[in-house]
Structure 1
Amino acid sequence: MQRQSSMDGNICTIHVDGIPQDTLTKVESYLKPFVLSLDVLQQVSTRLERELKRGLGKHSHHRAAVQMLPTFVTATPDGTEKGDFLALDLGGTNFRVLHVRVLEEEQKVVKMDGEICAIPQEMMLGPGDKLFDHIAACLGDFLKSQNLQGKILPLGFTFSFPCHQKEIDKSILIRWTKGFQCSGVEGQDVVKLLREAIHRRGDYDVGSIAMVNDTVGTMMSCGYKDQSCEIGMIIGTGTNACYMEEMKNVKRVESNLGRMCINTEWGGFGDSGSLADIQTEFDVLVDKTSINPGVHTFEKMISGMYMGEIVRFLLVKMTKDGLLFKGQTSEVLLSPGGFETKYISEIEDFSAELQATVRRLAPECDVTYLLSEDGSGKGAAMVTAVAQRLARQSRLLEDSSGEDSDDQD
């Protein structure tokens, strides 16, 4: 038996030897809604651009589906960063502590040593101060194991929960996700809570703390290799993107100078209904059966957490219609999560399709791709390194300005 398929616009044609044409026609009818023409993709691109601009607006961002959050990261690496940094990556039932050494003189080598610490289930649901005490204790143990107790190193803090960032070292937790429900943390500055926990110990301290979104870390880790990298994108369990934006376009921040990295939070694209016309019945079903119906529409259509479920629902319906497995379902097929997204990755080559489609949608742009190596670890350290560099440059300018004033006197 041989299988051939061709896609032209939004038409998917399948030819398989030995299978009746009426059966193939029915299969095609199921697959057709998943194949988007270039024209439809361009329409989606236009809608996304409209949402991005709404999220940047001073008065419109409150009702924007794509939140466009300022990160207060105002520059990418320029290759001169160097030094020792700590990175703390908290986003699930485990968290990591890293020591990152950036060695400019060794051709931009970044060396890392790290340790993974578990968070007990009861701590995920208990008082917030206990959680941060645990984090501080693990950080202290790591510093001791690395013989770093006497050093006060800057820290990049990747905190992968929805936050409203006020400054690079001030971030307010909006809500817990991923099974966490620690009391006394929502609505609070997580940097302050971490510092307070470290001070309660009293046996070590850290320097400046930079809050880092994992998407920003992705961009920054690649930016140290290639200074032209100004977009970070994650398509994994979830999806998100960030990019460097001109401050004059960021109306929600009172500044017109320079640039800032914007965390788009584009997983919410479509929450306003702007993708309703391309959602399949299976997309709708995945949304309805999720823990947060009506939220993160775009993420549920393309990311790893949900794509397997979309295919599973499709397979279930095709089986019940007698097109697969002789009409006989199985316990695995009927179980949520029974068809894993990794199976799709093994069937399709998701990066070649992505790059080819981007070339078609933006033929005037020369887009290249870099694979991020540990954006939430190395990238967090790079954000901190860039912040340190900018602070040094600012101090030098102030000193130079002061000397000029003295000369004039």
Structure 2
Amino acid sequence: MTQMLLSTAVACATVAAVAAAVMVWQKFHKHSHCDQALVLLYEFRHACATPLYVLRHISEHVALEMQAGLNQPGGSQLMMLPTFIEKLPNGCEKGLFYALDLSGTNFRVLRCLLGGPNARVIKQEYEVVAIPRALLLGTSEELFDFIAQRLISFIKLEGPEFQRGHNWNGHQIRELGLTISFPICQTSHNTGILIKWTEGFKIADGVGKDVVAMLQSAMDRQKGFQIRVAVLINDTVGTMAGGHYWNDDVMVGVILGTNTNACYVECNLPEDIQTKSGKMVNIPFYTLPVIYMEWGRFWSSHLPRTYIDEQLDNESVNPGDRGFEKMTGAMYLGEIVRRVLARMAQEANLFGDSVPTKLKQPFILLTLEMSKMHADESPDLRIVDKVLKDVFDIKRTELSERRIVHSVCDTVTMRAARLAAAFIVGILKKIGRDGWDATGVSSRLMALPRDSEHRARLELKRTVVAMDGILYEHYHRFRIYMQAAVYELLSEAAARKLVIELSKDGSGTGASILAACHSEFAPSYS
């Protein structure tokens, strides 16, 4: 009996010792994994670094590419397309105007009642309409007939206040601003040739035709209301217009959202610029036209590109294209984080001895969820823990692992925000508003304006950058990093004169306000 008890005790002690050894090994093994992951993290942070001298090189390269694109079509990575918008709102616009935002498989119709300088935007209403799947595969006539029908139905719901506003215009024709997300070749402020269908549309015809003419024909086939497309824009131009409506100092419009783009008021345009179609357009000397950049296409050896970025680009639907956008757009930031974590899980066993299945799934981590982890300031990073569970089904993580995840989010966001800042400063440099021209830096980059005194006055003026997009509006740390880098890059004098502000709904409100600017019937308030 005694021997049996002794044997049992020895067995229990052996089991306890083995269990203790396993726990010690697991603890050491876990720390070893974190150490390996930290090495990968440090390598990634170093590759993503954006010191001031790198950002300055990028800004200068952007300014050079802008001038090259203006001087010769196709001479730059940047499209530098004229928008034919030479008149921006000033807050005096008055009347009822509509907007149609066709930016995906849904479209939005909006009416906006403008009351002039004292009342500004009196009232707005909008409706979002889902496009039936059959129309995504049908004909252009069927699509635009459906859009026109729903637009007419929306107009019929005008309340008395809107109808009184329409009567201020003194005519029966309603005017509309059209926002299109499809690639187009714009030939005037209200004409544009469709280059191709995107956003899930697989319509056989319509390519090579004027989108405004197709919509106008469909609206003309409807009875009861006369509607005219006054202006054709994209959301970036609408963002600038919406900002300029409230503030005459707006010179730049930027979208930092799912995708990214910019436009600006060109102060030193060559007398003749060429449209994408090859037609030469003479721009009067006294005008300040808006130029649309397509800056997502930009690439430079100065961009801090990593192995992860190359992998993402190679596996994308458009390898070799839109390099800047793939490092800064909300469509990609969460995916970059996922790929970094997947590599750490594979090479350093970050989340255990096997890679979590869902961590292998492309684009499963949205930038929204990434931003939640980045914003986590709790001592135990419980939000990071929750997102890892909800998105990747990782049931249990150590605090050290969650800290690594948080740091990856910070690295990706800081790089994106500071690169966006460098591009904004590149635009300011091009138009002489970065404050460094007195040193001769900018004068080596671009042709000087015809009137150097005019350039000196521009440098002293207040400059406003109108911003929109989910990254700027809703991602707090992105916004803080971006703004700090912009002011870091500017001279002290220019930084005092610069304001960065939110300008929401360029595709809706901005489009309707631009319709007022380009009205054939409303009084001119310029």
Matched, 1:291 2:317: yes
Pick the aligned partner of 1:340 from 366, 379, 382: 366
For 2:204, give the aligned amino acid: S
Q: Aligned with 1:360: secondary structure?
A: helix
CA distance in 1, matches of 2:49, 2:349: 20
CA distance in 1, matches of 2:341, 2:369: 13
Q: Aligned ranges for residues 357-396 of structure 1 at < 5 Å?
A: 357-363=485-491, 364-365=493-494, 366-388=497-519, 392-393=523-524
Distance 1:344 1:23, change over 3 A: closer
Greater relative contact order, per chain length (Cα 8 Å cut-off, separation 6+): 2
Matched, 1:131 2:146: no
Aligned to 1:233: 254
Matched, 1:45 2:59: yes
Q: Aligned with 1:297: secondary structure?
A: coil
1:321 Cα deviation from its structure 2 partner: 1.1
Q: Look at both structures and tell me which one has the larger radius of gyration over its CA atoms.
A: 2
CA distance in 1, matches of 2:307, 2:157: 54
1:331 Cα deviation from its structure 2 partner: 2.2
1:374 Cα deviation from its structure 2 partner: 1.2
Aligned to 1:163: 184
Q: Aligned with 1:172: secondary structure?
A: strand
For 2:131, give the aligned amino acid: I
Matched, 1:300 2:321: no
1:64 Cα deviation from its structure 2 partner: 2.5
Distance 1:361 1:247, change over 3 A: closer
Matched, 1:98 2:110: yes
1:62 Cα deviation from its structure 2 partner: 2.2
Q: Aligned ranges for residues 192-341 of structure 1 at < 5 Å?
A: 192-246=213-267, 248-249=269-270, 251-252=272-273, 253-257=281-285, 258-270=287-299, 274-275=300-301, 278-322=304-348, 324-341=350-367
1:276 Cα deviation from its structure 2 partner: 7.3
For 2:107, give the aligned amino acid: F
Aligned to 1:400: none
Higher helix residue share: 2
Task: Give me the identity figure in percent.
Answer: 36
Aligned to 2:42: 28
Aligned residues of 1:51 and 1:65 also touching (Cα < 8 A): yes
Q: Aligned with 2:65: secondary structure?
A: helix
CA distance in 2, matches of 1:390, 1:77: 16
Unaligned runs of 5+ in 1: 1-17, 397-409
Q: Aligned with 1:102: secondary structure?
A: strand
CA shift digits 1:218-245 (9 cap, x unpaired): 1111112212112110010000001111
TM-score, normalisation: structure 1: 0.85
1:153 Cα deviation from its structure 2 partner: 1.3
CA distance in 1, matches of 2:337, 2:196: 30
Aligned residues of 1:247 and 1:255 also touching (Cα < 8 A): no
For 1:382, give the aligned amino acid: I
Which deviates further from its counterpart, 20-29 or 324-333? 20-29
Aligned residues of 1:27 and 1:323 also touching (Cα < 8 A): no
TM-score, normalisation: structure 2: 0.67
1:110 Cα deviation from its structure 2 partner: 4.2
For 2:47, give the aligned amino acid: P
Aligned residues of 1:159 and 1:213 also touching (Cα < 8 A): yes
Aligned residues of 1:212 and 1:380 also touching (Cα < 8 A): yes
Q: Aligned with 1:166: secondary structure?
A: strand
CA distance in 2, matches of 1:76, 1:117: 29
For 2:153, give the aligned amino acid: D
CA shift digits 1:113-153 (9 cap, x unpaired): 11111111221121111111111011111111226699421
Which deviates further from its counterpart, 169-178 or 358-367? 358-367
Number of residues of Structure 1 aligned to a counterpart in Structure 2: 373
Aligned-residue CA RMSD (Å)? 2.4
CA distance in 2, matches of 1:301, 1:146: 44
Q: Aligned with 1:291: secondary structure?
A: coil
Distance 1:186 1:108, change over 3 A: same
CA shift digits 1:79-110 (9 cap, x unpaired): 21111101000011110111111112544234
Matched, 1:73 2:102: no
CA distance in 1, matches of 2:319, 2:126: 37
Distance 1:166 1:247, change over 3 A: farther
